[in-house]
Amino acid sequence: MRIIGGTFRGRRFYPPADRWPTRPTTDFAKEALFNILMNRLDFASIKMLDLFGGTGSHSYEAVSLGCQDVTYVDKHIPAVKFVKETCATLGIADYVHIVRSDVLKYLAKESIFYDYVFAGPPYGLPWLDEIPNMVLQNGWLARTGLFVLEHNQHHDFNKHEHFRELRTYGGTHFSFFQTKEGIAE
């Protein structure tokens, strides 16, 4: 796996993913997503929430692009340990707040506004279809923020009131959500 852009562009990291319950976003899909995001977000001025953070790939990418306030959430102990080690190696531990927690329990807590929320859950997660409402209705997304949910073709959010667009890269689907206030006129 590699970091696509920014300060750490081209840096590779090698998660010991044997028997991990993670499905890292492919470099191809991640590069396409971040090409879109770089045109929509000023990473140097946002707060990001990375749900189901896994290998930390999205967190590293955001910091590489200038984000200095990332919250990474995952419950898998080896993944959390790997992300802590990688953040220390990259010298970005001050920018990534690592939370070892089940995402369902984390989202039930008192919310904090984030400008960008990314969720890359396991595709077979029984409550995957509930994630947009949990993020948007529970106050995790800033009024003008952007929420991106990674999923596969078995999930369709185009009727969700905050759905804005779908981008597909092979078997990876990214659904974009914004509040009504977040839509540029």
Q: How far apart are the first and last CA of the chain?
A: 37
150-181 pLDDT, tens digit per residue, is: 999 999 999 999 999 999 999 999 999 998 77
86-118 pLDDT, tens digit per residue, is: 999 999 999 999 999 999 999 998 888 999 999
- Measured between alpha carbons, how far is 28 from 31 in angstroms, rounded to an integer? 5
CATH 3.40.50.300 fits 39-109, yes or no: no
Would you list the domain boundaries of the chain?
Answer: 39-109, 131-180
Cβ atoms of residues 1 and 25 within 8 Å = no
31 residue type, one letter: E
Instruction: Give, as one character, the DSSP assignment of residue 158.
Output: T
- Measured between alpha carbons, how far is 98 from 93 in angstroms, rounded to an integer? 9
120-154 pLDDT, tens digit per residue, is: 999 889 999 999 999 998 899 999 999 999 999 99
Instruction: Give, as one character, the DSSP assignment of residue 45.
Output: G
Cβ atoms of residues 19 and 79 within 8 Å = no
Of residues 84 and 28, more confidence is placed in 84
Strands 114-119 and 141-151 turn out to be: parallel
